[in-house]
Amino acid sequence: MTLLKFSDVSLAFGAMPLLDKVSWQIARGERVCIIGRNGTGKSSMLKLVKGVQKPDEGAVWRAPGLKIGELPQELPVADERTVFDVVAEGLDGVGALLAEYHHLAQNCVTEEDLNKLMHVQQDLEARDGWRLQQLVDSTLSRLQLPADKTLAELSGGWRRRVLLAQALVSEPDLLLLDEPTNHLDIGAIAWLEEALKDFQGAVLFITHDRAFLQNLATRILELDRGGLIDWNGDYASFLVHKEAALAAEETANALFDKRLAQEEVWIRQGIKARRTRNEGRVRALKELRVERSERRERTGKANIQLDTAEKSGKQVMILENVSFAHPGGPTLIKDFSMVLQREDRIGLLGANGTGKTTLLKLMLDNLQPTAGKVEVGTRLDVAYFDQLRHQLDLEKTVIDNVAEGRDFIDIDGQSRHVLSYLGDFLFSPQRARTPVKALSGGERARLLLAKLFSKPANLLVLDEPTNDLDVETLELLEEVLLTFKGTVLMVSHDRAFLDNVVTSTL
């Protein structure tokens, strides 16, 4: 059963269309992933699906009575609302009644409380409330959520689970997810995959997590230069198809350009081209010129280069019996020892809240251990990628964050103008003069990489470097790290990225 259909939909912001006469549809039971580079219109597509954005041309048809649920990209605030209350919000007005009943039933002490409880019961009976109460309870049980805990007591991964429960209790026909694996550890991502496979409706999602995409999607929609590639199959088979399609496109463009060049030579021959019998050929040439002017070339890839410092000592870092606890808090790290050797590429794994970022800060001397010692090797130049992007000044422009007053920077012994260097990271001169606060998450991630890699380093410490990066930039970053002659220490929950880069894990 078709739930939603796009017919020749166009949408533009500025001169270039994001979507140019795009058509596709989704049916119950499908799990469709929208992919494409940052800025190609993936989030705009979801807005069109929800109806919060109107197309410039074309139509978006929704099945009568279609219910759309959403798992938003941002985590809910860690406040004092209970899990039950937040999940019940998925039921709109009835949810507020259920939440009130839930709290009154637990704290009914006075006669006034009892009267309130009776009134709420009557309202719930009139609005199918008891069936919805069972739905909330069963959803909480299925997702193993503690009804009476507050959001402030939960990690980011568990808050993500609460949002999914909120979306599911609304009993949607179509579930939308925007980067659902952000903030989740590997165990939570695996759990989410299984939960979505059990969902009976349709799923439409955006992700840059290649393992999640491969395991979940039954169909791929790629946005590319305003057009849409619709592939009925998994991600691995799509990549094979895409490689062949791009090769065919390149061949066709080369043949077209050769023909156009030949016709341009012909028209310049003069009087013969203007004879009556050649008017059709002249018209055809004009059509070729128009077609060539409308061709949209693929945007260039980012060109990431690392400026490697001189070799560090063979032993980069030694940790001996290190322990750490915040004052009055639980012990996050206990009696931990390791030796980090030059050219190691190590991934730190573990559930959220187990101390991975804390360990990085101890190694970088940003925190002091409560026991044990951290010994740093010789000739060490460190570049640190902070998952919260704290090294970026939001009020300054892109160029000011990287240049720090310089017009030129040295990369691998070569002097580069800052604007040229930023162009390697896909920042146009105009975008380079934009304040960081106006950038997307993907642009901020690329900017932080540009800032870090503009200075020589022989130890890269990367805390969740893959968040918000598109797949092509991720693959390029993998290639750079594999050829880097220094040492890499990283925290990541991107399984494909870890498999491709690290030599060992902790």
Query: pLDDT of 332-390, one tens digit each?
Result: 889 999 998 988 999 988 877 778 888 888 988 888 999 999 998 888 888 888 766 67
For residues 461 and 500, membership in a common domain is answered with: yes
For residues 21 and 154, membership in a common domain is answered with: no
Long-range contacts of 501-504 (CB under 8 A, 24+ apart): 501/345, 501/347, 502/345, 502/346, 502/347, 503/344, 503/345, 503/346, 504/344, 504/345, 504/346, 504/347
Residue 417, SS3? strand
For residues 358 and 400, membership in a common domain is answered with: yes
Contacting residues for 189 by C-beta, under 8 A, at least 6 apart: 181, 209, 211, 212, 493, 495
DSSP assignment letter at 76? P
User: What is the distance of C-alpha 499 from the center of its chain?
Assistant: 19
For residues 404 and 430, membership in a common domain is answered with: yes
Confidence of residue 49 (pLDDT cuts 50, 70, 90): very high
For residues 211 and 247, membership in a common domain is answered with: no
Q: 460 with 489: CB under 8 angstroms?
A: yes
The whole-angstrom separation of Cα 218 and Cα 240 is: 16
Is pLDDT at 162 greater than 60 in this prediction? yes
Structural domains of the chain, count: 4
Is pLDDT at 140 greater than 70 in this prediction? yes
| pLDDT above 90 as % of the chain | 21
For residues 32 and 119, membership in a common domain is answered with: no
For residues 223 and 340, membership in a common domain is answered with: no
Comparing 365 with 93, which gets the higher pLDDT?
365
For residues 28 and 8, membership in a common domain is answered with: yes
* pLDDT score, position 100: 74
Is pLDDT at 452 greater than 70 in this prediction? yes
For residues 195 and 135, membership in a common domain is answered with: no
Exposure string of 244-254, with b = 16+ CB inside 10 Å and e = fewer, is: eeeeeeeeeee
For residues 104 and 61, membership in a common domain is answered with: no
The whole-angstrom separation of Cα 481 and Cα 489 is: 11
Question: What is the average per-residue pLDDT within 4-29?
Answer: 89
For residues 143 and 176, membership in a common domain is answered with: no
Helix H, strand E, coil C: the string for 43-74 is HHHHHHHHCCCCCCEEEEEECCCCCEEEECCC
Question: What is the average per-residue pLDDT within 319-327?
Answer: 90
Q: 445 with 370: CB under 8 angstroms?
A: no
* pLDDT score, position 271: 59
The whole-angstrom separation of Cα 199 and Cα 158 is: 19
Q: What is the pLDDT of residues 465-490, one digit of tens each?
A: 887 777 877 888 888 888 888 899 99
Boundary-marking domain end, from 209, 233, 257: 233
Which range, 140-144, 206-210, 262-266, is most confident? 206-210
The whole-angstrom separation of Cα 37 and Cα 43 is: 11
Phi/psi at 416 (5° precision)? -125, 140
The whole-angstrom separation of Cα 81 and Cα 118 is: 24
The whole-angstrom separation of Cα 154 and Cα 39 is: 33
Q: 492 with 347: CB under 8 angstroms?
A: yes
Boundary-marking domain end, from 216, 233, 250: 233
Is pLDDT at 103 greater than 80 in this prediction? no
Is pLDDT at 44 greater than 80 in this prediction? yes
The whole-angstrom separation of Cα 404 and Cα 241 is: 44
- 309 within domain boundaries: no
For residues 360 and 464, membership in a common domain is answered with: yes
- 300 within domain boundaries: no
Is pLDDT at 266 greater than 70 in this prediction? yes
- 304 within domain boundaries: no
pTM above 0.95, yes or no: no
Boundary-marking domain end, from 171, 205, 223: 171
- 116 within domain boundaries: yes
- 381 within domain boundaries: yes
Q: Please, what is the Cα angle at 458 between 453 and 461, to 5 degrees? A: 70
- 478 within domain boundaries: yes
- 473 within domain boundaries: yes
* pLDDT score, position 302: 62
- 302 within domain boundaries: no
Question: What is the average per-residue pLDDT within 453-472?
Answer: 83
Domain with 211 in it: what CATH number?
3.40.50.300
Q: What range does the domain containing 227 cover? A: 1-67+172-233
Q: What is the pLDDT of residues 201-226, one digit of tens each?
A: 999 999 989 999 999 999 999 998 88
* pLDDT score, position 273: 53
Tell me the CA distances in angstroms from 134 to 141, 160, 171, one per residue in order. Answer: 10, 22, 13
Q: 203 with 99: CB under 8 angstroms?
A: no
